[in-house]
Amino acid sequence: MSRFNRFLPALVYLPLAVFVYLHLWRSPANNYLTYSGQDQNMFEWFFASAAKAVTDFGNPLHSELQNYPLGVNMMANTAVLGIGIPLAPITLLFGPTVTWTVVLTGGLAGTAWAWCHVMTKEFGYSRAGALIGGGFCGFAPSVISHGNGHPNFVALFVLPFIVARALRIASGTRPVRDGVILGLLVTYQIFIGEEPLLLCMVTLGIALLVHAAVRPAEVRPMLVPLAKGFGVAAGLSIVVCAVPLWWQFFGPQSYASLRHGGGNDVAALTAFATQTFAGNKVDAAALSMNRTEENAFFGWPLVVFVVVLAIVLWRVTTARTLAITTAVMALLSFGAVVVVHGTETVPGPWALLGGLPLFESVLPSRFAMACVPLIGLLLALGTDLLAGAGRHRVLWFGTIAAVLLPLAPTPLHTMGRPNPPQFFAQGTWRDYVDDGTVVVVPLPDPGDARALSWQAKTGMDFRLAEGYFVGPIGPERFGTYGAVRRPTSELLAKVRDSDEQVAITEADRQNMVRDLRYWAADVVVLAPEERSGRVGNVVAELLGRNSVYVGGVWIWDVRTLVPA
């Protein structure tokens, strides 16, 4: 029976994770998560790039396979190298979409299992309490929302062990040894997701301050062990990650900061997320940036229950620390200006952090995600202290079911997508590329990154001009999504996105030649799309020649038109 209990969490969490990605698993090689925007294309490309680096013994920190000739700083992007490199065999054998499906499914189940394990082994909670708390940590609405397109915010399975090791250090038993282990865990998390790591460390820091205010006598003996352990951890991690971190912040295509959004609407705390049983996509859309950024959405029943639970357990030091830290993280998630149902009200607490290094690149609304494990721990603690036996037990678990079932995830929506054009799938492109670049028009960008999928699914053997990634722009080197447009890519994007007639000038033709030389172009490929006719006509006019239809696309061989 004990062995069954040991595997019970996996038997619960893994089927639930498969249920969430049921539609993706039905055809993992062809289906596409509807609400991922272009993120699925981008992350599949990251997985394919990591596998390519493994097989070619290349530099995994940088790639010129898109945005040629500048390339992409992989450390400055959410490339999840810590997962993509170990799973390179899956990518090479079955393709990047299968890797994508495995990572997302395993991320949900693994995160839930990791929290359940830590709650039982490190915190001493009961199996029932840990099963509930761990399940909430892995399948909370905000995590499921990111599950549409952000594996770095789904594969959070290292963070519970970081928290557990930090608490061991605080106990003062073996701070140096535990500091080494913490340093290794932090190092690995850096290669999965740095932003979740930052949120975790901030949460731990605030929890320590809260605990110091609640029980100062308990915190004083922790300070020296914490200084030793975290000093060892930081030193080890910096030494191991010295080159990758230098590359990220100072290497080619690095950038200074990335500003990309505000805080949560206060109303989002009590609303229901899109992919929950009680969710309403219209209401959720009004309170979030997009479907992948529903970062709060705890639902009013759970919010009320947590408040009541905190009041009931207020005299329990751990519960008080968890409750206050949860409130602080929720307040930080409101951003620089507190918004209530779309109306700006008063300045928010984010103004204290928003200008600091690293924090200036963080999306404030994501701080609400730090509330998830705090609530999970509070639910586990409440189960152990209040469930009791008999009627009390029935009442407790009945209440837990009532507040959590509305938040239960529903299968994420998918849609089919065509296979790569035969020009790429059958390797026909090799007849038109010597050592140059494929220029897909309109050029791939954050609005249409299909070309990255074609490249990723057909071996990553050719280079692309421009693409979808984060890189620098301007003399200040602020971060931006996508390449800095060349005159030709700007023109073609305008043709694609507008009904406005564009008059081609001689300057446009000269820009086209210059840009093709800049990209070291061998062939221009017209993507099959709704406005292909308009874009194709403009490209033909710019090049002074008509396209040739080959393998499902229209191409212009520019090797002689644009000599090296």
Q: Indicate the domain borders of the chain.
A: 2-36+95-407, 422-557
- How far from 357 is each of 4, 67, 283, 354, 461, CA to CA, in Å? 47, 27, 34, 8, 38
Listed residue (470, 474, 468) closest to 456, CA to CA: 468
**Digit-coded pLDDT (tens) for 482-494:** 999 999 999 999 9
Q: What integer pLDDT is reported at residue 3 of this predicted model? A: 56
Contact (Cβ atoms closer than 8 angstroms) between residue 443 and residue 48: no
Give the C-alpha separation, 241 to 95, whole Å: 29
Give the C-alpha separation, 444 to 493, whole Å: 10
- How far from 503 is each of 524, 532, 541, CA to CA, in Å? 21, 17, 10
Q: What integer pLDDT is reported at residue 387 of this predicted model? A: 87
Which burial class, exposed, middle or buried, applies to 353 when counting CB atoms under 10 A from its CB (0-12, 13-18, 19+)? middle
- The residue with tokens 């700083």 is 73
For residues 147-174, average pLDDT: 96
Residue 48 makes CB contacts below 8 A (sequence gap 6+) with 91, 96, 455, 456, 457, 460
Give the C-alpha separation, 151 to 193, whole Å: 9
Q: Pull the structure tokens for residue 114.
A: 């990791």
Q: What integer pLDDT is reported at residue 189 of this predicted model? A: 98
pLDDT higher than 70, residue 186 = yes
For residues 408-427, average pLDDT: 95
Q: What integer pLDDT is reported at residue 313 of this predicted model? A: 97
**Digit-coded pLDDT (tens) for 440-453:** 999 999 999 999 99
Q: What integer pLDDT is reported at residue 528 of this predicted model? A: 81
H or E element in which residue 481 lies: strand 478-481
Q: What integer pLDDT is reported at residue 563 of this predicted model? A: 59
254: helix, strand or coil: coil
Q: What integer pLDDT is reported at residue 63 of this predicted model? A: 97
**Digit-coded pLDDT (tens) for 67-112:** 999 999 999 999 999 999 999 999 999 999 999 999 999 999 999 9
**Digit-coded pLDDT (tens) for 352-377:** 887 888 888 889 999 999 999 999 99
Give the CA diameter of the chain: 85
Amino acid identity of residue 201, one-letter, is M
Q: What integer pLDDT is reported at residue 383 of this predicted model? A: 96
Percentage of the chain surpassing pLDDT 70? 98
Other residues' Cβ atoms within 10 Å of the Cβ of residue 525: 24
pLDDT higher than 80, residue 208 = yes
- The residue with tokens 């690293």 is 358
Round the average pLDDT of the chain to a whole number and report it: 94
pLDDT tier at 7 (50, 70, 90 boundaries)? confident
Give the C-alpha separation, 289 to 149, whole Å: 14
Give the C-alpha separation, 272 to 296, whole Å: 9
Q: What integer pLDDT is reported at residue 225 of this predicted model? A: 96
Amino acid identity of residue 29, one-letter, is A
Q: Pull the structure tokens for residue 101.
A: 């499906």
Q: What integer pLDDT is reported at residue 1 of this predicted model? A: 40
pLDDT higher than 70, residue 5 = no
**Digit-coded pLDDT (tens) for 15-34:** 999 999 999 999 988 899 99
Which regions of 403-457 does DSSP assign to beta strands (E)? 414-416, 437-441
Q: What integer pLDDT is reported at residue 532 of this predicted model? A: 66
Helices (H), ranges, 342-486: 371-386, 391-404, 422-425, 450-457
pLDDT higher than 60, residue 531 = no
**Digit-coded pLDDT (tens) for 230-273:** 999 999 999 999 999 999 999 999 999 887 778 999 999 999 99
Residue 343 makes CB contacts below 8 A (sequence gap 6+) with none
Amino acid identity of residue 214, one-letter, is V
**Digit-coded pLDDT (tens) for 117-157:** 999 999 999 999 999 999 999 999 999 999 999 999 999 99
DSSP 7-23: HHHHHHHHHHHHHHTHH
Parallel, antiparallel, or unpaired for β 553-557 and 521-526? antiparallel
